[in-house]
Amino acid sequence: MYEESQGTITIATTVLNTIARLTTLSVPGVARMGNNGQLLQTNIGTNVKVIDNKVKADIFIVVRSDVNFYETGQRIQQEVTRSIKEIVGMDVQAINVYIQDVEYPLPEPSTSASE
């Protein structure tokens, strides 16, 4: 079957950043996005670039203390790669995960025996 091209499709890097961020936040063990070092930008915790039609993403996260950090990082790499391939149909060159901090649960407030 012959299909004729009807033009080009351009996907903004902000879209790729959003896909990477939302996918990362859905991975169990991710407490929140970290700081990508770029102030005053909407892509909090992600830095996505397209090089030679391949996606390269740097993802900065804070993890929960009760998870395996390495496995969480691998899961983020797998899920973000899958999302980008399925949603926008682009190949992925690299997904680099930077664990910047650990979030510990807040201690329960102690009740005083004198109350």
For the stretch 35-85, pLDDT in tens is: 877 665 666 899 999 999 999 999 999 999 999 999 999 999 999 999 999
Give the pLDDT of residue 105: 84
Question: Position 74: which residue type?
Answer: Q
Whether pLDDT at 95 is above 70: yes
Give the list of residues 6+ apart from residue 38 with CB closer than 8 angstroms, or none. 47
The reply to whether 108 falls in a domain is no
The reply to whether 3 falls in a domain is no
The reply to whether 112 falls in a domain is no
Does 22 or 113 have the greater pLDDT score?
Answer: 22
Count of structural domains, the chain: 1
Q: In whole angstroms, what is the distance from residue 94 CA to residue 56 CA?
A: 5
pLDDT digits (tens, 9 = 90+) for 4-27: 778 888 899 999 999 999 999 999
According to DSSP, residue 68 is labeled -
The reply to whether 115 falls in a domain is no
pTM score of the predicted model: 0.83
Which residues sit opposite 60 in a β-bridge? 98
Owning domain of residue 94: 13-103
